[in-house]
Amino acid sequence: MAIAELGTVVLDCPDPRALAAFYADVLGGTVKDEDGGDWVDLIVSDGRTLAFQKAPGHVPPKWPAPGDSQQFHLDLTVGDLDVAERGVLALGATPLDADERSRGWRVYADPAGHPFCLCAC
C-alpha cells in the first residue's frame, strides 16, 4: 500500500513565468500565476501540474557531468523526434547531445538549464 501519491513536480528557476511559458508551448496546458510570479503552475491536459518556483540563486544542473548530479530531468514522449526537436529549439531549448542521433531519445536543456529528453513513442 502506498504511503502517498505524487502531487506536483516543481522546478526551481530564476524566472517562473518564463519557464512556465516555455513548457506550456512544449506540453500545452494552462498557466496559473496566483503568487505574483514567485510560484507559477502549469496545468497540463490530463490535470497534472508542473510548477515553477523562483530561486534567485538558481544554479543550472550540469549535463553530462560524471562528477556532478543532473539533479532532475523530464522525459517527454513525442511522435516525431525531428519535428519535436525543431519545436523545442525554436522555443529556446539547447541541445545537450547533438552528436547522439541514432537512439530513440535526445537530450536538451530548457531556458533555465534543466535537462529534459524528447523520447520517441
Residue 112's domain is classified under what CATH number? 3.10.180.10
Model confidence pLDDT, tens digit, residues 78-110 = 999 999 999 999 999 999 987 877 788 899 999
Instruction: Indicate if 121 and 101 belong to the same structural domain.
Output: yes
Distance CA 28, CA 72 (A): 21
Q: Which amino acid is at 75?
A: D
Overall pTM surpassing 0.75 (yes/no): yes
Instruction: Indicate if 42 and 63 belong to the same structural domain.
Output: no
Residue closest to 18 by CA, chosen among 83, 91, 67? 91
* Count of the separate structural domains present in the chain: 2
Q: Which domain holds residue 40?
A: 1-57
Model confidence pLDDT, tens digit, residues 45-75 = 999 999 999 998 888 887 776 776 666 778 8
